[in-house]
C-alpha cells in the first residue's frame, strides 16, 4: 500500500555549479558537431578546476572541426554562464583538448549496414516518469527547486541581482498529504555572492525568488528557510570544487522521485540511448498522463549495444491506471518506433539543441519551436485516447 502522508526532498544546482559547467561545455561540443553534421558521433567529457578545463572523449565528424574550435566552444560556454573571477575566468583559464576519433569497434556495432538497422550505442536501462503534481507533469520538489534557481539566474543575467555569483544550489522539502504536495516544510538555498555583502543581505535578495516560485501559501516558516548555512559563499564554481560531466543525473531527471537507469546525458549525441531513450521514455510517460490514462506513470526501456530494438518495455501506472498496462505497452510501441533511429526521427534529435538542457533539468520544460525539448510535447494524446476510449 502506498504511503500517503510524508515529506520528500529534491535538490537542484545552477548553471554555474562546477558539474553543470562541465555538462554545459560537453553539450555545447555536441551542438557544434551536430550543427556541422546531423549524424556526427560525440562522447565528450569535461573536467574543470581552478582556471583549468580538460576535454576528453571520442568523436566522429567533420575533420574541419579542430581542437582549437573545441577550446573556443568551452570558453564561450563559460563566458555565457558568467565566470570572470580570479579563480575561474573564461578568457584566462587553460583549456586542454584530449578529444580523439571514435573507436572503430564501437562504430561497427552501432552503424547500420546491409539488412542490419542501426544499433544502440551502448547497453543500458532508461526510465521515464510523469505525474500530476505540477502543470509540467513533473514531481513537485524538483520542479520548484529548478524554478527557484532559474529565477535567480535570470535576475543575475539581467543585472537585477549583480551581487550574486553563478554557483548556487537549492533544496526543497514538501509535505504530502493524501499523496499530494501541500506545502514546503523547508527550503535550502546556497548561492555564491560578492564579498561586500553578508548572509542577511543574501537572504533578502533570494527571498522573493523562493516565495514567488512556490504556490501561494506554500512558503516554509522562517526558521526552516536556510540561506547559505555555512555563512559565506564567495569562492565558488570550479575554483571552489572540481567539476565533472555527468555527476548530477538525479538533478537532471526527477529529483529522486522516480528510478534512474544510471547513465548520464550530457556530452552524448542522440545515438547514445542513455540520452535518447531516456527522452523517449519521458515522452511516452508524459503522454500517458496527459491523456488521462493514469495519474502517475513510470516507463523503463532496456537496450543492448549494437541491437536496434529494445529488449524490454516496462510500464507501471502505480495503481492509478485507467487501462490495461500490457495493452498500453502495445499501443505505445505501435505509435513510436523505439529503435535508436526511430526515436531520433520521431523526436527530431539530430539537431544542435543540447546546450540548453545542461541546467535546470532535461524534463518539465516547454518544447521549443526549433525542436528543443521535443520530448515534452503531448502530441500522442489524441491517438492514445482514440485507442482506449
DSSP state of 139: -
- State the catalytic residue, choosing from 27, 31, 45, 239: 45
Burial class (CB in 10 A: 0-12, 13-18, 19+), 105: exposed
The grid coordinates listed for 11 are: 535538490
Q: Confirm whether 27 is a catalytic residue.
A: no
Q: Is 19 a catalytic residue?
A: yes
> Which candidate in 146, 272, 282, 346 is catalytic?
272
Which of 37, 58, 117, 325 is catalytic? The answer is: 58
- Mark the binding-site residues for L-methionine, compressed into ranges: 58, 102, 241, 272
What does the alpha-carbon distance between residue 330 and residue 283 come to, in Å, rounded to a whole number?
A: 16
Distance CA 378, CA 355 (A): 23
Catalytically annotated residue among 169, 344, 362, 365: 169
Nearest residue to 242 (alpha-carbon basis) of 9, 5, 22: 22
At 87, list the grid cell. Answer: 579563480
Q: Any catalytic annotation for residue 79?
A: no
Choosing from 233, 265, 363, 373, the catalytic residue is 233
Active site includes 45? yes
17: annotated active-site residue: yes
How many angstroms separate the CA atoms of 210 and 241, rounded?
A: 25
Annotated catalytic residue within 8, 11, 17, 225: 17
Beta-ladder partners of 120:
305
Annotated catalytic, 268? yes
272 is known as an active-site residue: yes
The one catalytic residue in 107, 155, 242, 304 is: 242
Burial (0-12, 13-18, 19+ Cβ within 10 Å), 149? buried
Q: Catalytic: 324? A: no
- 241 as an active site residue: the answer is yes
Task: Give, as one character, the DSSP assignment of residue 189.
Answer: E
- Binding region for ATP: 17, 167-169, 232-233, 241, 247-248, 264, 268
Which residue in 209, 268, 346, 356 is the catalytic one? 268
Residue 274 annotated as catalytic:
yes
Closest CA to 266 of 258, 256, 275: 275
Q: Spell out the residues 6+ positions from residue 198 whose beta carbon is closer than 8 angstroms to its own.
A: none
Q: Which of 247, 286, 296, 362 is catalytic?
A: 247
Catalytic residue among 20, 24, 296, 346: 20
Catalytic entry in 41, 60, 156, 248: 248
DSSP secondary structure, 193-262, as one string:
E-TTS-HHHHHHHHHHHHHHHSPTT-PPPGGGEEESTTS---S-HHHHS-EETT--HHHHTTTTSS---S
Which residues make up each annotated binding site for K(+)?
45
Residue ranges at the known binding site: 17, 19, 45, 58, 102, 167-169, 232-233, 241, 247-248, 264, 268, 272
Q: Which of 15, 19, 23, 118 is catalytic?
A: 19
Q: What is the DSSP letter of 170?
A: E
Cβ pair 52, 94 in contact under 8 A: yes
Q: Catalytic site residue 20?
A: yes
242 is catalytic: yes
Q: Among residues 27, 31, 122, 274, which one is catalytic?
A: 274
Which residues participate in catalysis according to the annotation? Answer: 17, 19-20, 45, 58, 169, 233, 241-242, 247-248, 268, 272, 274
Amino acid at each position: 500500500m502506498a504511503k500517503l502522508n510524508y515529506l520528500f526532498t529534491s535538490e537542484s544546482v545552477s548553471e554555474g555549479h562546477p558539474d553543470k559547467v562541465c555538462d554545459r561545455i560537453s553539450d555545447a561540443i555536441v551542438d557544434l558537431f551536430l550543427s556541422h553534421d546531423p549524424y556526427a558521433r560525440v562522447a565528450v567529457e569535461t573536467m574543470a578546476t581552478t582556471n583549468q578545463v580538460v576535454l576528453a572523449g571520442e568523436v566522429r565528424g567533420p575533420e574541419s572541426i579542430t581542437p582549437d574550435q573545441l577550446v573556443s566552444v568551452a570558453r564561450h560556454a563559460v563566458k555565457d554562464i558568467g565566470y570572470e573571477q580570479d579563480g575561474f575566468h573564461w578568457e584566462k583559464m587553460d583549456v586542454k583538448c584530449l578529444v580523439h576519433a571514435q573507436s572503430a569497434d564501437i562504430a561497427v556495432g552501432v552503424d547500420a549496414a546491409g539488412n542490419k538497422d542501426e544499433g544502440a550505442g551502448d547497453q543500458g536501462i532508461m526510465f521515464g516518469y510523469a505525474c500530476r503534481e505540477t502543470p509540467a507533469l513533473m514531481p513537485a520538489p524538483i520542479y520548484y527547486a529548478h524554478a527557484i534557481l532559474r529565477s535567480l539566474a535570470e535576475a543575475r543575467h539581467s543585472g537585477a541581482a549583480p551581487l550574486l555569483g553563478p554557483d548556487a544550489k537549492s533544496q526543497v522539502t514538501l509535505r504530502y498529504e493524501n499523496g499530494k504536495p501541500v506545502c514546503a516544510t523547508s527550503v535550502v538555498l546556497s548561492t555564491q555572492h560578492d564579498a561586500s555583502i553578508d548572509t542577511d543581505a543574501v537572504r533578502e535578495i533570494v527571498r522573493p525568488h523562493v516565495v514567488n516560485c512556490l504556490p501561494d501559501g506554500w512558503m516554509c516558516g522562517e526558521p526552516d528557510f536556510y540561506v547559505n548555512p555555512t555563512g559565506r559563499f564567495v569562492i565558488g564554481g570550479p575554483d571552489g570544487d572540481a567539476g565533472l560531466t555527468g555527476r548530477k543525473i538525479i538533478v537532471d531527471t526527477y529529483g529522486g522521485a522516480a528510478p534512474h537507469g544510471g547513465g548520464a546525458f550530457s556530452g552524448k549525441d542522440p545515438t547514445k540511448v542513455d540520452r535518447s531513450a531516456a527522452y523517449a521514455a519521458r515522452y511516452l510517460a508524459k503522454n500517458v498522463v496527459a491523456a488521462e490514462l493514469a495519474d502517475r506513470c513510470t516507463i523503463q526501456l532496456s537496450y543492448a549495444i549494437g541491437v536496434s530494438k529494445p529488449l524490454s518495455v516496462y510500464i507501471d501506472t502505480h495503481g492509478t491506471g485507467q487501462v490495461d498496462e500490457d495493452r498500453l505497452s502495445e499501443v505505445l510501441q505501435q505509435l513510436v518506433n523505439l529503435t535508436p533511429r526511430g526515436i531520433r526521427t520521431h523526436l527530431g534529435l539530430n539537431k544542435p539543441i543540447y546546450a540548453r538542457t545542461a541546467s535546470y533539468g532535461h524534463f518539465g520544460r516547454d518544447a521549443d519551436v526549433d525542436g528543443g525539448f521535443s520530448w515534452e510535447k503531448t502530441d500522442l494524446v489524441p491517438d492514445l485516447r482514440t485507442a482506449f476510449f
